[in-house]
Amino acid sequence: MIRRPMSAAANAVRTGPTRRLAKLEQRLLSWLMARAEKRGDESPWMQRHDALTGLANRLTFEDNLRQLRRRDVAGSIAVLDLDGFKVVNDRYGHAAGDAVLCAVAARLLATVSADVLVARYGGDEIIFFIPGEMGRAIPLLERVRLGISQPIDMHGGQLCVTASIGVAPLPMSIGLSEGMTSADMAMYAAKSNGRDRVLAFSPETQGVVVARRELAKTVVILQERNRQLQEQVHLDALTGLGNRRALDEVLEVSCGGEPRLAGHCAVAFLDIDHFGSFNKHHGDDRGDEALRQVAQLVKSSARRGDLVFRKGGEEIVVVLPGATEEEAQAAGERMRSAVQEAAIQHVASPTAPVITITVGVASSHGRKQSTVHQLMNLAAEAAMRAKVKAQRNQVHLA
């Protein structure tokens, strides 16, 4: 198949092998494609018809149906949906999809009689109202289905589409909405039973659709739970930060070696000052709460796109993609200040009466082929040297 713009596709599309198609269908297709080229036409006719296919639009269908029902005309309501139509658009382009819809519309108009209401309801969904008994509707819809399944000739090859059709009675005792719901269920049951078929509504079809919808809901719930479990695998249970496993996945990445770390990058290594003394004095539960608070303060002070991990114990690592040394130092200072200003009481600390952090920062700037792991080690060394030199509660460059 080839992909062509709509104006070219309009000239290139022919419906099915010529011998199989009546001349009326060919004339209808040419007319419909010509109408599609005039989408800017605001004539009354265009206001009541679909600009692409020339079929009646939803409002026209409902108006005409109301007029019939005022005359006590009962019948059947049917919903047609093309099988796998999204694949046509994705594989061959929307111009080819438009051409297929026009070809289908031409075949419908060549198949149904004048008293049958046909409309494009939206997308690739077409709706029918067929006056009379169901015994008339089903054979007619079978002819429609067979006509649609004939190959559609396009420049360079043929394209085959099929349709699933659901049909339900529309007596005077029920409204269009109820009838549409039943026909829609029958159509989905037809798809569930293999597609390319006509299926009348029944309690059994309703059961199939309801069961499949419940199954679909269950699948969505399970997928969401699986996503949550996957997230939990990479999250620290106490702080909600990325855990050591998540950190390990980025440690060997070279700065500039993947989109998240394009160009420069930097790593900040944060260690809570005198945290062992805090736990001894205040207890482990209070220590856990303080660690959670510090983690959230650091995360909220990081830039959008920064990756924040709990390495272990009271150590936190922040990877700053795209950050220069100056930007990383400024980010480290924001984090340090945020923790100090939170004023989490720490009476056992010789540094300050509140919890503080010491921050080491290392940047890839001026270093060739730096990995996150190498930068993290440099930042950790800078932080540990500062502690030894009694320079806690500061930001230190590696």
Per-residue model confidence as pLDDT tens digits over 96-106: 899 999 999 99
Give CA–CA dist 355/345, Å, rounded. 6
- Calculate the average pLDDT of the chain: 84
Domain 6-201 in CATH 3.30.70.270? The answer is yes
Query: Which pLDDT belongs to residue 95?
Result: 87
Q: Which two tokens stand for residue 95?
A: 């111009």
pLDDT beyond 50 at 333: yes
Residue among 160, 169, 154 nearest 195 (CA): 160
Instruction: Say if 6-201 and 244-397 have the same CATH topology.
Output: yes
Beta-sheet strand order (sheet of 117-122): 117-122, 125-131, 75-82, 163-170, 198-200
Work out the angle between the directed axes of helices 134-149 and 94-111 (0-180°, nearest 10): 140
pTM (2 decimals)? 0.48
Give the architecture-level CATH label for domain 244-397. 2-Layer Sandwich (3.30)
Mean of the pLDDT values across residues 86-108? 90
Query: Looking at residue 277, what is its pLDDT?
Result: 92
**pLDDT value at 348 more than 90:** no
CB of 59 closer than 8 Å to CB of 47: no
Say whether pLDDT at 34 is over 70: no
In the chain, where the domains are located: 6-201, 244-397
Quote the tokens at residue 391.
């320079």
Say if residue 3's pLDDT is above 70.
no
pLDDT one-digit tens code per residue, 161-188? 999 999 999 999 999 998 999 999 899 8
Give 130-148 pLDDT, tens digit per residue: 999 999 999 999 999 999 9
SS (H, E, C) the chain: CCCCCHHHHHHHCECCCHHHCCHHHHHHHHHHHHHHCCCCCCCHHHHCECCCCCCECHHHHHHHHHHHHHCCCCEEEEEEEECCHHHHHHHHCHHHHHHHHHHHHHHHHHHCCCCCEEEEEECCEEEEEEECCHHHHHHHHHHHHHHHHCCEEECCEEECCCEEEEEEEECCCCCHHHHHHHHHHHHHHHHHCCCCCEEECCHHHHHHHHHHHHHHHHHHHHHHHHHHHHHHHCECCCCCCECHHHHHHHHCCECCCCHHHCCCEEEEEEEECCHHHHHHHHCHHHHHHHHHHHHHHHHHHCCCCCEEEEEECCEEEEEEECCCHHHHHHHHHHHHHHHHHCCCECCCCCCCCECCEEEEEEECCCCCCCEHHHHHHHHHHHHHHHHHCCCCCCEEEC
Examine the pLDDT at 69 and tell me if it is beyond 70. yes
pLDDT band at 6 (very low <50, low <70, confident <90, very high): very low
